Each structure stands twice: as structure tokens, then as C-alpha cells.
Copies of this chain bind each other. A is one copy, B any other.
Amino acid sequence: MSAPAPRMRWWGWGEDGHDEPLSDAARALLAEQLGPLPAGRRDPVALGDVRLPAPALPAAARERLAAIVGDEYLRDDRLARVTHAAGRGYHDLVRLRAGDAAAAPDAVVYPADAEQVAAVLRACAQEQVAVVPFGGGTSVVGGVEPHRGRFAAVVALDLARLDRLVAADPVSLTATVQAGMTGPAFEAALAERGLTLGHFPQSFEFSTVGGWVATRSAGQASTGYGRIDALVVALRVVTPSGEIATRAVPATAAGPSLRELLVGSEGTLGVIVEVTLRVRPAPAVRRYEAFSLPRLDAGVEAFRALVQAGAAPDVARLSDPVETCVSLAMAGDGLSTRALGAYLRARGHGDGCLAIAGWEGGDDAALRRRRAAGARVLRAHGALALGTPVGRAWEHGRFHAPYLRDELLALGVMVETLETATTWDRLPELHGAVVAALDGALRGRGTPPVVMGHVSHVYRVGASLYFTFVARQQEGAELSQWHAAKAAASDAILAHGGTITHHHAVGRDHAPWLGGEVGELGIELLRAAKATLDPAGIMNPGKLLDPAPLPGAGPS
């Protein structure tokens, strides 16, 4: 037995060899929109050239941890440390590709079970070693980047060995699962029993159940299946002060919800080791299709009408005109895309918005009824049905964007995403404000961006907004360029009634804005919870409550 191998290449997304080269058309579009890109590729340094601090874990602590997990499950070699040095945010990849792994943990431990997790936390609290719980390592908000805080050393606690489906109950439709199980492994185990969770964040291939719960994540089908916080029936968390487990009941009036205090705790209160989730019968049929809405405001009204009428599809996504244009252009193969563009212009949708609607269900008839009800609402708002090929293309590519990002970085292009949510009455205002903030911040630095957005995850009272922006990288100032854009967008979000994050979590990157969202007293309340469960303060320092400085902050 030995420690699990890294699931992703150390400098980017996914496995080595999985590349997504850009079409010539896409490269031409980028250059046209962003200005001239560098001539050569900017490829990552070799692993051996990565700059890594000397491991600082005191020998006594190392020995004690090795005794708990076993020698082979404590790793402090270069690959283990580099693969646990950062998440998969834009700033992470910029630094890793450039050979900067300054934040690498001093060691990585792989406990076998909840008891070993508890022993590791006890040892670290006594030895004054910080601990970063690590699931899939896919955080895009600095959530797993090690910060020593006031401690001399920091270890990553990798949950890869807690990878088992504990129980599935077909009567109550619940599944109990260990936190380190990845999305595909969990769904495969459920599928054997005819079940599904239906949680598909873009990170699905690599992220873990525990990570989803720790970050309060939303998936692409969460409009239908519910966000992860709506799917958690109970959870079991090991903290430095002991274990806390909530009761698996459908609902309760027994005081404040401790479950909701632990969901979203992002490794700062303890380590989520086991979760009981609501599951459903796996869908026998699914239909993903595309519609075009004549304008963004019509599309937003259509989506609001859908969800408020109880007719929302399980996947509901509405691109703004810029994202619609870029999607069609990137789709590549010239003829059919051009034909679609011409068709839309002819029908008055030249500035239209692409919508993806996905229905899943137990049988054809039920799915057809739901689809018909949804399509009726969409048509009443001027939608044109574009059929299933575009919908299937979206479904096929739903997890591809992070691979594409690696390629864009090699071409000298910054690409970043951020997201928020607000009530329907404020949605158009918030959309405009974030676009303007990003455009202003990047244009002001001489790197005008393309900013595109989409509405997704619709709720009766509102929806989320997800933004992607690309710009020429400011060579040598990539991080301060990123920080300027991030700060401008975050300020705009809070000023216009949004939440600082709807599905990426707080991590380190959103922490400076959390006080603006929950107030100083709210922060104190969270600090009190932390002081109770983690009195030594070893759990994931620099995140959520006590933000470490952001990459690129300060004079640029």
C-alpha cells in the first residue's frame, strides 16, 4: 500500500495529455478582441525547476504523524508537496506554471479513517501545526492553499483514502458516503443501485463529496436536484475539540441548525468525514436542448416565469449576448455555426441570448409533459427552439472549460470566472454592474477584456449570475492584474445586492468581502464557533474569517 497518486497534473487541470487545442477561428477571434497575443507559447516549467521551500515540519511532529497514518501515508516529496501547494484558480495556475510553489505544505498526510483524522488533529493541535483539509484540490478561491498562519509548519490532510460509499437506503432515498469520494466514483456506486445524487459542478471529475459540502457548492443541474446544502441530510465532522454529528432526520425544529453551521465551513472548523445525502432514482431519460431568447431582459423574464410557475428544467442556463456570440464562435466548425447565426439574425435574434434547458426524468411521457410546459413558457417570451444538437453539444462540453483554460494560459490569455446571486428585481442591475466593473478595471490597465455572463441556478426569488472574462495577460504583472479585476467585481457585487459567492465558496479570495456580507457581528459569531471547535486555530488558517493577503494585492 502507498499513498494515492495525484489525480491531476501538478501545473493544471486534469491528467497529462488531456489537451484542448484552440481552433484557428478561436485564436483569430481572441486576437481580434484582446489585441496581439505573445508569439510563442508560455509553457509551464519542469517539475524539477519548481521553487519549493525546505520542509519545516519539526521531526517530533513528523514522527508522531507518521505513527498515526503509517510511514507510507506521510509524504513530503516534491510531487506530493507541489500537488498540494494550491487549488486550481487562475492565480494558482499562473504561479505554478511559473515554478512558484512557495505555499507548498511541509508534508501531506493521508489518514485511513475518521479515527486517524481525529488523531492527526489532536497531534497537530499539540504540536502547533496548521492543517489544510484537502479533497479534490479544485478550489478556485484559494481554499486549499496552505497558509502557516502563526504556526511553524503546515500539513495538507488529504482525504483520498476516505473513499467509500457507506450505505445507500432505497426506502428513504439517502446515501451515506465518506468525504473523500470523488464525483465519478460516487455516482458510479450510486448508479449500480439505480440512484443518482445529481450534483455536477464543473469540477465534478476531480472534486469530492466532502469538498462539495465544505464549500456549499452548486452543480449544473442544481435547479432540478437542489444545491448541495439542500441535499445534505446529516454530516459527521471531526474537529480538534472532538466529533460532532448531526442527526439524519428529514427536518427538525430543534433550535438553530448546526448542520448549516458546518456545511460551508471550508475546513476552518474541522474535517468533514462523512455525509448523508438525499439521492434520487437515476433518470432513465434526459433531454438537453437549446433555445434563443430575443434579448437578455426577455430571457431573464422567461427564466423567472419558468421557475415561479414550477416549470423550470433541471438544467437552466441563459447566456448573455456576449457569451452567446463567443459560444457560437468557439463552437468552431464554420458552416453550421454561420448558418445558425444567420438564422438568428433573420428572426430578429441578432443580439439574442442562448438558453440551455435540460430535463431529466423517469419516463418519456413525464419528461415530455415537463418539457412541453417549459417550452410553452419560453415561447411566450419569444423563444425560438434550436433543438437538441446545441443542447447536446453543451452537455458534451460541460466539464471542458478548465482544460481549455490551460491552453489559454499557454497563449498568454488571462481567463477567470466569478459568480454571485441576487433576487430577480436586482438581477439586471447586478449583471450590468459586474460587467462594468470588470471592463473598467482591465481596460484601465490597457488590457480590455471580453466579459460574458450567464444566468443559472434559478430559484423562485432569484438566480445566480456567472461571469467569465478573458484579457491579454499583463506579462510580469499577472497577479496584480487579476487582483484589480477581482476586487472591482467583488466591490460591485456587494454594492448591488449580490452575495459575494453563490457556488465557489469564500476561501481566501472572498474573505475580505465576507464582513461586508454578514456584518462584523456575523464575523464574530463565526469566530466564536471556531474558537469552540478549533481553540488552537490550526484549521485552515487564512481562509473565511482571517484572510491571508490575496495574490497580487498591494502595490503593483
Chain A residues at the B interface, C-beta cutoff of 8 Å: 169, 171-174, 215-218, 227, 229, 233, 239, 241-266, 269, 278, 280, 304, 308, 421-425, 457, 459-464, 497-506, 510, 514, 517-522, 524-529, 531-533, 544
- B264 near A505 with CB under 8 A, answer no
Given that A251-B464, A254-B510, A517-B247 are known contacts, is A525 also in contact with B423, CB under 8 Å in the complex? no
Query: What's the nearest-Cβ distance from chain B to residue A380, in Å?
Result: 15
- A532 near B522 with CB under 8 A, answer no
Query: What's the nearest-Cβ distance from chain B to residue A179, in Å?
Result: 17
Given that A218-B251, A252-B421, A256-B526 are known contacts, is A243 also in contact with B521, CB under 8 Å in the complex? yes
- A233 near B532 with CB under 8 A, answer no
- B532 near A255 with CB under 8 A, answer no
Query: What's the nearest-Cβ distance from chain B to residue A424, in Å?
Result: 4
Query: What's the nearest-Cβ distance from chain B to residue A542, in Å?
Result: 14
Query: What's the nearest-Cβ distance from chain B to residue A532, in Å?
Result: 4
- A217 near B253 with CB under 8 A, answer yes
| Docked pose: A254 CA to B241 CA in angstroms | 24
Given that A172-B461, A253-B216, A256-B261 are known contacts, is A244 also in contact with B504, CB under 8 Å in the complex? no
A520 contact set on B, CB distance < 8 A? 242
Query: What's the nearest-Cβ distance from chain B to residue A490, in Å?
Result: 11
A259 contact set on B, CB distance < 8 A? 260
Among the listed B278, B500, B533, which residue makes an inter-chain contact with A521, where contact means beta carbons less than 8 Å apart?
A: B533
- B533 near A244 with CB under 8 A, answer no
- B425 near A169 with CB under 8 A, answer yes
- B260 near A257 with CB under 8 A, answer yes
Given that A253-B217, A525-B532, A525-B533 are known contacts, is A258 also in contact with B498, CB under 8 Å in the complex? no
- A502 near B243 with CB under 8 A, answer no
Query: What's the nearest-Cβ distance from chain B to residue A126, in Å?
Result: 19
- B460 near A278 with CB under 8 A, answer yes
A422 contact set on B, CB distance < 8 A? 249-250
Among the listed B252, B261, B264, which residue makes an inter-chain contact with A525, where contact means beta carbons less than 8 Å apart?
A: B261
Among the listed B217, B252, B266, B425, which residue makes an inter-chain contact with A501, where contact means beta carbons less than 8 Å apart?
A: B252
A522 contact set on B, CB distance < 8 A? 244, 246, 258
Query: What's the nearest-Cβ distance from chain B to residue A233, in Å?
Result: 6
A497 contact set on B, CB distance < 8 A? 247-249
A498 contact set on B, CB distance < 8 A? 249
- A461 near B174 with CB under 8 A, answer yes
Could you jot down 24 A-B contacts, CB within 8 Å?
A169-B425, A171-B425, A172-B423, A172-B462, A215-B253, A216-B252, A244-B521, A246-B518, A247-B497, A249-B462, A249-B498, A249-B499, A250-B459, A250-B461, A252-B421, A252-B502, A254-B505, A254-B518, A256-B260, A256-B262, A260-B260, A525-B532, A528-B529, A529-B529
- A503 near B247 with CB under 8 A, answer no
A174-B461, A255-B265, A255-B506 given. 12 additional CB < 8 A pairs? A171-B423, A172-B424, A172-B425, A174-B423, A215-B253, A242-B520, A250-B462, A252-B421, A252-B501, A252-B502, A253-B505, A254-B514
- Which of chain B's residues has its CB closest to A253's CB? B216
- B514 near A252 with CB under 8 A, answer no
Given that A174-B423, A521-B239 are known contacts, is A265 also in contact with B254, CB under 8 Å in the complex? no
A227 contact set on B, CB distance < 8 A? 251
| Docked pose: A525 CA to B261 CA in angstroms | 10
- A525 near B462 with CB under 8 A, answer no
A517 contact set on B, CB distance < 8 A? 247, 252, 254
- B171 near A502 with CB under 8 A, answer no
Query: What's the nearest-Cβ distance from chain B to residue A374, in Å?
Result: 14
| Docked pose: A551 CA to B502 CA in angstroms | 47
Among the listed B249, B501, B528, which residue makes an inter-chain contact with A423, where contact means beta carbons less than 8 Å apart?
A: B249
- A544 near B423 with CB under 8 A, answer no
- B244 near A253 with CB under 8 A, answer no
Given that A462-B172, A521-B243 are known contacts, is A421 also in contact with B265, CB under 8 Å in the complex? no
Among the listed B244, B266, B533, which residue makes an inter-chain contact with A255, where contact means beta carbons less than 8 Å apart?
A: B266
